[in-house]
A = this chain, B = another copy of it.
Amino acid sequence: MHGLMMNQPLLISSQLEFAARFHAKVEVVTRTVEGPIVRTTWRGVADRVRQLANALVKAGIRPGDVVATLGWNTQRHLELYFAVSGLGAILHTLNPRLPPDQLAYIVNDAGDVMLCFDTTFAPLARHLASVSTPIKQYVALTDEAHLPKDTGITSLKAYESLLPGEATTFAWPSFDENTASSLCYTSGTVGMPKGVLYSHRSTVLHSYAICMVDALAISAQDVTLPVVPMFHVNAWGVPYAAAMVGSKLVLPGPALDGVSLLELIQNEQVTSALGVPTVWLSLLAAAKTQGVKMSTLSKVTIGGSACPPSMISAFQEEHGARVLHAWGMTELSPLGTACVLLPQHRDLSRAEQVQVQLKQGRPIFGIDLRLVDDDGKVVPHDGKTSGHLQAKGGWVASAYFHSDDVSHHDGDWFMTGDIATIDGDGYMQITDRSKDVIKSGGEWISSIDVEHAATLHPAIAQAAAVGVPHPRWLERPLLVVVKHKDQTVSKAELRAFLETKLVKWWLPDAIEFVEALPLGPTGKVLKRQLRERFKDYALP
């Protein structure tokens, strides 16, 4: 017997219309690609989204069509999020940091019929227009006055020319909530990127999840700054969630340097900011240089890669902003876990609390996690036994787009590729990527733990530990570090410091100072490049 409840599909268009009805006056602020800060409200956004939807339909975009974007976090990109998915088409956010040939591959794999790009990325658009792709229409996310002149793209349209004259009403279609809404490719370190195809249902469920208190707690009480790019797993779902709850949204555009972000945080009284560790390094540096305390900031969500302990302390001690460490993946929409302290942690010292906060956190209802050993056998959640982390849930990928590769799934579980522990309170902690783990004499050394220990040294800005071949132990750790500007530390001093933090056999056999670590398109350290560079390294 079915319940007698109203049958309403979970649709992204409902989030927008809800914002227009009940959060009409809440602001959406953008630092534009053109330069100025522009301000509107959720009602203003919704009016333009409906105009855009009318324009897209007029341009021939139909349900199921794939519309690509190359865009920063801006109001126009936000409008595309809701208009494209709302009308039943698929929003495909391209990562502009990928090499042009990979982008061309992705555009072809996805079957993109339209590309909307910020003028910053005109060279990339020009490249895509010069190779064979299914793209039939190009739209520059600007007005006529700022239309790039030298793209060689015939019939290039300015986004702002599409809207005038269009009605601010649009009858959003109702359809199966499992309909595809958006598409994001993972930047695989091996092979070509793979597409993850989200649905309206998965997106709305994920939105509910991230608004929960124990998750990212997106709220009407917050001024939310997603520094995490809208081309990177839908900015962790923040645009949808912000509409749903009526959070003021501050979009940083292309200016992701510390000084620009600091200015935006101070001027817009940002209370909640979200991003990967690398952007926070430059923000913290800018605040230190200017002697500024970010007094409105109450929460900083850090994900994308493991958060170093020094960063947690810096935000909490210097700025009074609680750090929320979160973990996710493109294949998880992305949120899997969030690290919120429990009542039992309240009486711990600050240092002990940071030790808890370093964990990736507890799963959010809707995501289930388990650990398996090399043979696929489930291992206990005892906080000590590590295993391959697997996930399942309503916002987890069941397959990749246009792919029959099932090697990432173990039955109905998705294999994350991470090595982790889960403790008795449900806290998951990643000790490594499967492929980054350092195997010394048959035992695993957690590269992340070695890196965290190194970044606890005040002179160290970034660290990466990689395994290099060793005649006896097969592999031993090499620590590659970047020093803070104007800071000095010798290898011997750093090694002595690490001896106080790590068990002896986890100590790196050697330390190398470098100017910078190689970063991938989503800001993660490319360990594969480091392993390649140091593969013939002569350990002492």
Contacts and interface: CB of A to CB of B under 8 A. Distances in A.
A214 interface: yes
Contacts of A29: none
A145 to B, nearest CB: 34
Interface string A365-381: 11010000000000001
Nearest to A363: B22
A429 interface: no
Given A21-B426, A365-B245, A5 B198 contact: yes
Contacts of A340: 220-221
A221 B344 CA distance: 9
27 contacts: A1-B197, A2-B178, A2-B179, A3-B180, A3-B199, A3-B202, A4-B397, A4-B398, A4-B400, A4-B401, A5-B198, A5-B201, A7-B178, A8-B392, A8-B393, A15-B365, A21-B426, A23-B426, A25-B425, A208-B366, A212-B213, A212-B245, A213-B213, A213-B220, A214-B219, A214-B221, A214-B245
Contact of A8 (B212, B218, B394, B401): B394
Contacts of A24: 424, 426
Contacts of A207: 365
A223 to B, nearest CB: 7
B3 A178 contact: yes
Contact of A209 (B22, B208, B248, B425): B208
A327 to B, nearest CB: 14
Interface in A330-386: 333, 340-343, 362-363, 365-366, 368, 381
A252 interface: no
Contact of A1 (B6, B22, B64, B425): B64
A392 B398 CA distance: 32
B3 A198 contact: yes
Interface in A158-200: 176, 178-181, 196-200
A414 B213 CA distance: 29
Nearest to A195: B4
Contacts of A196: 4
A469 interface: no
A192 to B, nearest CB: 17
A4 B197 contact: yes
A18 interface: yes
Contact of A212 (B176, B208, B394, B414): B208
Contacts of A219: 212-214
A395 interface: yes
Given A1-B64, A179-B3, A426-B21, A212 B214 contact: no
A246 interface: yes
A425 B366 CA distance: 31
Contacts of A220: 213-214, 340, 342, 362
Nearest to A269: B343
Interface string A245-277: 110100000000000000000000000000000
A510 interface: no
A530 interface: no
A209 B245 CA distance: 11
Given A212-B212, A363-B22, A426-B21, A199 B64 contact: no
Nearest to A4: B197
B221 A426 contact: no
A368 B4 contact: no
A255 to B, nearest CB: 24
A424 B25 contact: yes
A282 B209 CA distance: 36
A365 B4 contact: no
Nearest to A333: B5
A3 B5 CA distance: 25
Contacts of A61: none
A10 interface: yes
A217 B218 CA distance: 12
Given A211-B213, A213-B213, A214-B245, A396 B4 contact: no
Interface in A397-428: 397-401, 412, 414, 424-426
A406 B221 CA distance: 39
A223 B343 CA distance: 9
A115 interface: no
Contacts of A246: 214, 362, 426
Given A217-B213, A245-B214, A2 B208 contact: no
A398 B245 contact: no
